[in-house]
Structure 1
Amino acid sequence: MLAFWEILRPFNCLMASAAAIIGLLIAMVQDMHAALIIAGAVFLITGAGNVINDYYDRQIDAINRPDRPIPSKRIRPQTAFYYSIALFAAGCILAGLAGQICLVIATFNSMLLFFYARNLKVTPILGNLSVSYLTGSTFLFGGAVAGLVGLLANQVPFGLSFLASMSREIAKDIEDMEGDRQGGARTLPILAGERAAAALA
C-alpha cells in the first residue's frame, strides 16, 4: 500500500493544494469548507497526473529513476493506469462541489495531464508549456471559487508560477537527457543542445 501513496508524490500534491488555497485567499474567500474541497480536488488530480506520468514513463524511469514504484515492480503498470483514472474522476467530482468554473478547470487540467503524459511530454516546448500552465493554474483554480473576479485576482501569481515552472522543466529535461534520448523523447535540450536550453531556462 505504501507504493500507492509514494507514486502520488504526496509532497508535490500538498504544495499544489497549498497554492490553490493561496489563490482562494487572494480572491478574498475565507471559507474553510471551500478550502478543504479545493485542496482535496487539487491533491487528487495532481496525484493522478503523477501516476499517469509514471505509467507512460515506465521505460524511461527504468533508466533515470529505477526505484520508482512501477519500474521497481511494486505496482503493476495496468494497476497504475486504472488508479490514475479513479483519482482523476474523484478529483473532478470534488471540484464540482466548489462550483462550475472549478469543474471546468479540473476537467480541462485532467485531460491535459493525461495527454501530456501520453503525447505532449516528448514534444519540445509544448510539453514544458503544458506543465507550466498546470502549475500556475492551481492559483486560478482556488480563485475560481469566487468566479471570474477570483480568476482575474490571481493573474500575477499564475504568471510568476508559469515562468518559474518553465525554467524548472527545461532544467529537468537537461538532467534527464540520457534516459530521454534512449526513450525516444524529443525534448528541447536534445534538439537544441544543452547550452541553448540552459540559456533559455
Structure 2
Amino acid sequence: MGSSRLFAYLQLTRPANVVTAIADIWAGVAVAGAWAYITVGENSVSQEILLNLIWLSISTIGLYGGGVAFNDVFDAELDAIERPERPIPSGRVSKSSAAWMSFILLVIGVLAAAQVNLVSAGIALTVAVLAVLYDYWGKHQNLLGPINMGLCRTGNLLLGVSIAPELLSTFWPLGLIPLIFVAAITMISRGEVHGKNRNALYGGLTMYIVVILVIGAMPFVHGTAPWEVFPFLALLSYMIFPPLIKAIRSQNPKLIGKSVKAAVISLIIVNASLAAAFAGWQIGIIVLLLLPISLWLAKKFAVT
C-alpha cells in the first residue's frame, strides 16, 4: 500500500520531465563555462562549482516537480472527466496533500538555489511564480499560455547560467531558445485530447525549425567546430519531426500526444546541443546521458 501511494505522488511530479529540467541546468552551466572547472580535477574551485551544480540540480527538481504537481491540483475537476486515472481524481492522492507537496517542493527549489547565490534564488523564485501562474491562469490563454510555459524553461536555463551570475547580462538572450521550443510544445499539446488543431501543429513545426537553425548557427558565432554540434541537431530532428508529421497528417489525438511526449523528452537533446556549442561535444554527451534515464522513466510515468 505504501509503495503504491508513493508511486501516485511520484506520478504527480512527472519524473521523466524532471530529468529534462536537470538538462536545462547542466546546459546553462555549460554556457557559463563552469564545466571546464568541474572536469579539471580535485581542487577547491572545482569542488565548489560541483557543489553548486548539485544545488542547482536539486533546485530544478523541486521547481519542476512542484510546478507540474500544482497543475494536477488546479486540473482536478477537469481530469476527473478527461483523465480519471490520474492520482487525484482516482482518489490515490487527496487534493490537499498534493497541494502541500507541490508547495513544499517549490520552497525546496528556491532554498536550494539560495545555497548558490542570491541571484540564483531570485531566478528560482521567479520560475516558481511563473509555474503556478501557468497552472492557474496561463494554460487557459491561447497566446500568453505558451509564452508563460516557455518562460518557465527560460528561467530554468538561466538558473544554470547563474552559477556565474555576472554572465547573465551577456547570455540572457539564449533563454529565447527554450522559450520558443516549449511554446511550440504547448501549442501542439492543445490538440492532445480532441485533435483538430492543424494550424497549431504547423506553427509548432515552424518554431522547431527556428530553434534548430539558431542552435546550428551558434558554433560559427562562438567559435566551436560545427561537427561538434550538428550530430546533436540531427538526433533532435530525428526525435521530433517524424511523430509531428504523422500528427499533422492524421490529426489523431493519440499521435499528437506521442508528438508532445517526444518533444518534451527531446528538450534534453536541445540542451545537449547548446552544451556542445559552448563547451564542446564531450559536455554535450554528458548532458545527453540524461536521455536514456528520461526515456526509461517515461515508460513508467506519464509525460503529459
Tell me, yes or no, whether TM beats 0.5.
yes
Corresponding position: 1:33 with 2:51 = yes
The match for 2:245 is none
The match for 2:92 is 74
Amino acid at match of 2:199: A
The match for 2:193 is 176
What does 1:109-120 align with in structure 2 at a 5 Å threshold? 109-120=127-138
Deviation at 1:59, TM superposition (A): 1.8
Deviation at 1:53, TM superposition (A): 0.4
**TM-aligned CA distance change 1:67 to 1:152, over 3 Å:** farther
Corresponding position: 1:84 with 2:102 = yes
Corresponding position: 1:65 with 2:83 = yes
* Larger-Rg structure: 2
1:163 to 164, 168, 180: 180
2:197 to 190, 194, 198: 194
Corresponding position: 1:9 with 2:14 = yes
Question: For the Cα contact (< 8 Å) 1:96–1:102, is it kept in 2?
Answer: yes
Amino acid at match of 2:99: F
Amino acid at match of 2:26: I
1:131 to 134, 149, 159: 149
Question: For the Cα contact (< 8 Å) 1:9–1:50, is it kept in 2?
Answer: yes
Question: For the Cα contact (< 8 Å) 2:127–2:156, is it kept in 1?
Answer: no
Measured against aligned partners, the alpha-carbon deviations of 1:66-122 in whole angstroms (never above 9, x if no partner) come to 221111111001111111111111111111111111111111111111121112211
Distance 1:170 1:83 in 2: 28
Amino acid at match of 2:130: L
Distance 2:172 2:130 in 1: 21
Distance 1:148 1:68 in 2: 43
Identical-residue share of aligned pairs (%): 23
Question: For the Cα contact (< 8 Å) 1:140–1:151, is it kept in 2?
Answer: no
Deviation at 1:141, TM superposition (A): 0.6
Amino acid at match of 2:116: A
Measured against aligned partners, the alpha-carbon deviations of 1:155-194 in whole angstroms (never above 9, x if no partner) come to 33x222221111111110122348xxxxxxxxxxxxxx82
Measured against aligned partners, the alpha-carbon deviations of 1:48-76 in whole angstroms (never above 9, x if no partner) come to 00110000011222233222111111100
Question: For the Cα contact (< 8 Å) 2:190–2:197, is it kept in 1?
Answer: no
Deviation at 1:148, TM superposition (A): 3.2
Distance 1:64 1:14 in 2: 26
Measured against aligned partners, the alpha-carbon deviations of 1:19-56 in whole angstroms (never above 9, x if no partner) come to 11121122011321011000000001100001100000
The match for 1:141 is 159
**Which blocks of at least 5 consecutive residues in structure 2 are unaligned?**
1-5, 39-48, 205-304
Deviation at 1:154, TM superposition (A): 5.5
TM norm structure 2: 0.58
Distance 1:70 1:174 in 2: 23
CA RMSD in angstroms, aligned pairs only = 1.7
Amino acid at match of 2:200: A
Distance 1:65 1:34 in 2: 39
Question: For the Cα contact (< 8 Å) 2:11–2:87, is it kept in 1?
Answer: yes
Which consecutive segments of 4 or more residues in structure 1 shift more than 6 A? none
Distance 2:70 2:134 in 1: 9
Question: For the Cα contact (< 8 Å) 1:13–1:47, is it kept in 2?
Answer: yes
**TM-aligned CA distance change 1:151 to 1:14, over 3 Å:** farther
Distance 1:135 1:7 in 2: 19
**Which blocks of at least 5 consecutive residues in structure 1 are unaligned?**
179-192
